[in-house]
Structure 1
Amino acid sequence: MSSFPPIRRIDAGELSVAYHDVGDPGGDPVVLLHGFPYDVHSYAEVTPLLADAGYRVIVPYLRGHGPTRFLDARTPRSGQQAALGADLLALLDALELNEPTLAGYDWGGRAACVVAALWPERISGLVSVNGYLIQDIAGSQHPIRPDLEAGSWYFWYFSTERGRQGLEENRREIADVIWRRNSPEWRFTDLDVDRAAAAFANPDYVDVVIHSYRHRLGLESGASLYDALEQRLAAAPAISVPTITLDGTADGNFPATDGSQHAHLFTGAREHRQIAHAGHHLPAEAPLEFADAVLDVAGPPGDGSGTP
């Protein structure tokens, strides 16, 4: 597996964000955003492909992960979608990134979708695994197919104090179980899990994760500073920037679709692709296909076309 250069840090919004910065410092920027329970190594093979193509590639640790830290002990350790989106916007500001391409999956894809929907003028394009990821909190109590509910077992586990204690005591082991369900065709190793699990030692990890899942199920209130953003997200704002959405045909939790269920939520140029044999951890399982999607959205370096 490819290695990253030394970690950099920058104060952005509520956080001191730890991130990797790879490639040409003057190249068109791409921001790659990881999910849960994963870390920046999701992009270990994607990053050099983009850097070699002439891009500047930024790969941050999300709140509650790795060396990223809160600047103030009094800040709520929220994991809600508005917090993730606000973190990403603050990072773009702090790094003075000019219309980057955003790409992500799971939590990171959600952060990218939030920014793309609410601040489209700030970015040039989007790659999102599993389509439109802004959550419908108000509709969270509606049941889904039983087999899909089973795959979301940890949502309900984390809604209990037993689940909080379990996550505190078994961070790596819970990740291993989730990975196996999410990506049944991916032959990952213990080293892969160990590498990601190092990021779960963050002192805010449990609080952020527990809040994320309780909030999305309507079981816990959001932090008041995000109320206005959550109200905007509740309206399911459309994404107008050029976008490629991806589904893995071996995603154990989110069966691949033709993308039509989200079509009305993308009002700009949008293409949907299915990636054979890839699971939920798509950038790590199909790095070439993921990088190709980013390159197709971003266009040639310096081109600024942003058209899939």
Structure 2
Amino acid sequence: MPTNALRAAARLTPWLLAAQWFLAGAAQAAAPAPAAATPVAPLVADRHIDAGDLNVGYADLGPADGEVVILLHGWPYDINSYAQVAPQLAARGYRVIVPHLRGYGSTRFRSADTPRNGEPAALATDVIALMDALKIERATLAGYDWGARSAAIVAAQWPQRVKALVSVSGYLIGSQQASRKPLAPAAELQWWYQFYFATDRGRDGYAQYTHDFAKQIWRLASPQWKFDDATFARSAAALDNPDHVAITIHNYRWRLGLAEGEAKYAALEQRLAQAPSIGVPTITLEGDANGAPHPLPETYAAKFTGKYEHRLLRGGIGHNPPQEAPQAFVQAVVDATRL
């Protein structure tokens, strides 16, 4: 019968080997290659657990007793944004949880009667429900896009559950009230898809052309990221979830006040509408070629009242830093846990 230490080592070994293989390949390369050009083993959400309204599909890497890091993906991406990040963190001794958000991959609603709700409070509450189901009292949260927003909400409203935060594009907590304010034309243009989704034509178009739409968003959001078809296809499969279109449409319609939320989240949304500060240790990241709508760092720095650092990722990094700059993202997570 193996000891606990041997069992933990056995569980960690595949991820150590994966990280060593990646690092060795990078060291031998004559010049840095785009992330998509490096062969990457896909992340597989081979674990499932009932958590709140969902049966969550998730990947679980690293030692079972390691310090926990939860990585949250964005729209329209999936857990494979962390296909390089997660093994490297596991190799450093962290337990790494990477869930599919509601409406993605192998995550499913437990009841057909549950509203397919994409409002921010619901997505953030999913994170707490997952932590409760896995009996994780406290974790470092890291994310981008929808994942960064959920991580920030949890850090603001449940700070006792968050050791540290890594947030791409900084402070993304918003409200319906804020979303009603018109922007300058150039800024409104960046939100073209939100207005498209407000129409039945947009809903039907997204349902019919989900993969084509997602690839267009990837290209616009990360204009210098030369991902290949295989990299895209690996993540696009997660968008075939039966609830994906409904969750996406509701999310963007809710922001404009065109769709109702659930009453059980109303109090939380009211608190979020006050733009609460975040006091947990935080590192925010921004790519120097982020083509998606995002706030300027100077507009949100004051919202982080604890230990705080902002990092600009140079070299043509776009909206998806964990996949475009995995080494920098890993370092940010490690450094955040030590703030």
Q: TM-score, normalised by structure 2?
A: 0.86
Query: Take 1:6 and 1:112, find their aligned partners in 2: how far apart are those partners?
Result: 20
Specify which of 95, 104, 114 is matched with residue 56 of structure 1: 95
1:218 matched to 2:257: yes
Letter in 1 for 2:302: H
User: Could you say if the C-alpha distance between residues 26 and 5 of structure 1 is closer, same or farther in structure 2, counting changes exceeding 3 Å?
Assistant: farther
Query: Take 1:82 and 1:141, find their aligned partners in 2: how far apart are those partners?
Result: 18
1:13 matched to 2:52: yes
Structure 1: stretches of 5+ with no match in the other structure: 300-306
1:286 matched to 2:325: yes
Check the 8 A contact 1:254/1:280 in 2, yes or no: no
Query: Take 2:190 and 2:212, find their aligned partners in 1: how far apart are those partners?
Result: 16
Query: Take 1:255 and 1:278, find their aligned partners in 2: how far apart are those partners?
Result: 14
User: Could you say if the C-alpha distance between residues 28 and 76 of structure 1 is closer, same or farther in structure 2, counting changes exceeding 3 Å?
Assistant: same
Q: Secondary structure at the match of 1:124?
A: strand
Check the 8 A contact 2:175/2:269 in 1, yes or no: no
Structure 2: stretches of 5+ with no match in the other structure: 1-39
Specify which of 190, 196, 199 is matched with residue 235 of structure 2: 196
1:43 matched to 2:82: yes
How far apart are residue 151 of structure 1 and its match?
2.1
Q: Secondary structure at the match of 1:30?
A: strand
Query: Take 2:212 and 2:191, find their aligned partners in 1: how far apart are those partners?
Result: 16
Query: Take 1:240 and 1:6, find their aligned partners in 2: how far apart are those partners?
Result: 31
Specify which of 168, 187, 197 is matched with residue 158 of structure 1: 197
How far apart are residue 265 of structure 1 and its match?
1.1
Q: Secondary structure at the match of 2:176?
A: coil
Q: Secondary structure at the match of 2:64?
A: coil
How far apart are residue 147 of structure 1 and its match?
2.8
Q: Secondary structure at the match of 2:174?
A: coil
Query: Take 2:193 and 2:168, find their aligned partners in 1: how far apart are those partners?
Result: 20
Check the 8 A contact 2:222/2:317 in 1, yes or no: yes
Alignment of 1:103-182 (within 5 A): 103-182=142-221
Q: Secondary structure at the match of 1:179?
A: helix
Number of corresponding residues? 299
1:268 matched to 2:324: no
How far apart are residue 256 of structure 1 and its match?
7.6
Alignment of 1:70-109 (within 5 A): 70-109=109-148
Letter in 2 for 1:268: G
Q: Which has a greater percent of helix?
A: 2
How far apart are residue 255 of structure 1 and its match?
5.9
Letter in 2 for 1:64: G
Residue matched to 1:302? none
Q: Secondary structure at the match of 1:42?
A: helix
Query: Take 2:182 and 2:94, find their aligned partners in 1: how far apart are those partners?
Result: 43
Check the 8 A contact 1:172/1:193 in 2, yes or no: no
How far apart are residue 289 of structure 1 and its match?
0.5
Q: TM-score, normalised by structure 1?
A: 0.94
Specify which of 11, 29, 37 is matched with residue 68 of structure 2: 29
Q: Secondary structure at the match of 1:245?
A: strand
Moved over 6 A (4+): none
Residue matched to 2:30? none
Query: Take 2:270 and 2:45, find their aligned partners in 1: how far apart are those partners?
Result: 38
Query: Take 1:237 and 1:160, find their aligned partners in 2: how far apart are those partners?
Result: 32
Residue matched to 2:106? 67
Residue matched to 1:241? 280
- How much is the aligned-residue C-alpha RMSD, in angstroms? 1.2
Check the 8 A contact 1:249/1:255 in 2, yes or no: no
Check the 8 A contact 1:151/1:181 in 2, yes or no: no
Check the 8 A contact 1:131/1:246 in 2, yes or no: yes
Moved more, 31-40 or 132-141: 132-141
Query: Take 1:147 and 1:191, find their aligned partners in 2: how far apart are those partners?
Result: 33
How far apart are residue 123 of structure 1 and its match?
1.2
How far apart are residue 221 of structure 1 and its match?
1.5
Check the 8 A contact 2:221/2:319 in 1, yes or no: yes
Query: Take 2:321 and 2:255, find their aligned partners in 1: how far apart are those partners?
Result: 23
Query: Take 1:194 and 1:170, find their aligned partners in 2: how far apart are those partners?
Result: 14
Letter in 2 for 1:36: W
